[in-house]
Amino acid sequence: MPITPPTGDASDFDFLMGPWRIRNTRLVRRLAGCTDWETFDATGTARPLSGGIGNCDDFIPEGWNAGYVGMALRLFNPQAQRWSIYWLDNVTGGLDTATGLLQPPVSGGFAGTDRGVFFGQERLDGRPVLVRFEWAKNLAIGTPRWEQAFSDDGGQTWEVNWVMEFSRPAQAG
């Protein structure tokens, strides 16, 4: 059963622009019955891309996976009214080793609400899995939240495996 992601608007991610402190809670092993979570902090800064085609942000962990850096690239298709979100990092570049092409994105939008949902496909330990990103803008309190979940049964059940809670960094003096 294919999952149809919601549509979006070019301004869906305006709330994310600027610098952030990011509290990460991450499942140690995915789709393996694991209940062990690790927690770590990171920093990131989101920036718009020229011409309103999307945005990008960096992800720099503090004290986790030394030397690791990541980046989300979000591109908006005005005809389809959908976002495509790609994940890039300094381990794989976000590329498929067999083809040299970008890994498939998750796609979706906020459909005029505070919550965005994005779906895609990925491979985990050689097997295909569905991926779901959920964003909560939380505009009233200024603390966006992102979570990632995987499904290996066609979307009937989902295992949340990563949560990011965003807050603005304290301003110096």
Q: How confident is the model at residue 98 (pLDDT cuts 50, 70, 90)?
A: confident
Which residues sit opposite 21 in a β-bridge? 43, 167
pLDDT(82) > 90:
yes
**What is the percentage of the chain residues whose pLDDT exceeds 70?**
97
Residue 11 has pLDDT above 50, yes or no: yes
Instruction: Determine which of 49-58, 133-142, 151-160, 164-173 has the lowest per-residue pLDDT on average.
Output: 164-173
pLDDT band at 1 (very low <50, low <70, confident <90, very high): very low
Residue type, position 80, single letter: A
- What is the average per-residue pLDDT within 67-74? 96
* Alpha-carbon torsion, ordered 31, 60, 5, 15, to 10 deg: 140
Residues with Cβ within 8 Å of residue 93, at least 6 apart in sequence: none
Closest Cα to residue 57, out of 46, 66, 49?
A: 46
45-52: Cβ within 8 A, 24+ apart: 45/18, 45/19, 45/20, 46/13, 46/16, 46/17, 46/18, 46/20, 47/17, 48/17, 49/75, 52/10, 52/76
Q: Which band of pLDDT confidence, cut at 50, 70 and 90, is reported for residue 44?
A: very high
Determine the Cα–Cα distance for residues 149 and 157; give it in Å rounded to an integer.
10
- Fold for domain 14-167? Lipocalin (2.40.128)
Average pLDDT, the chain: 93
pLDDT tens, 135-157?
999 998 999 999 999 999 999 99
Q: Which residue has the tokens 């919601």?
A: 6
Side chain identity at 131, as an amino acid letter? V
* 105/107 Cα distance (integer angstroms): 6
With a cut of 70, say whether residue 173 has pLDDT above it.
no
pLDDT digits (tens, 9 = 90+) for 111-125: 989 999 999 999 898
How is the chain split into domains, by residue range? Answer: 14-167
Give dist(CA 129, CA 132) in Å, integer. 10
pTM of the model: 0.93
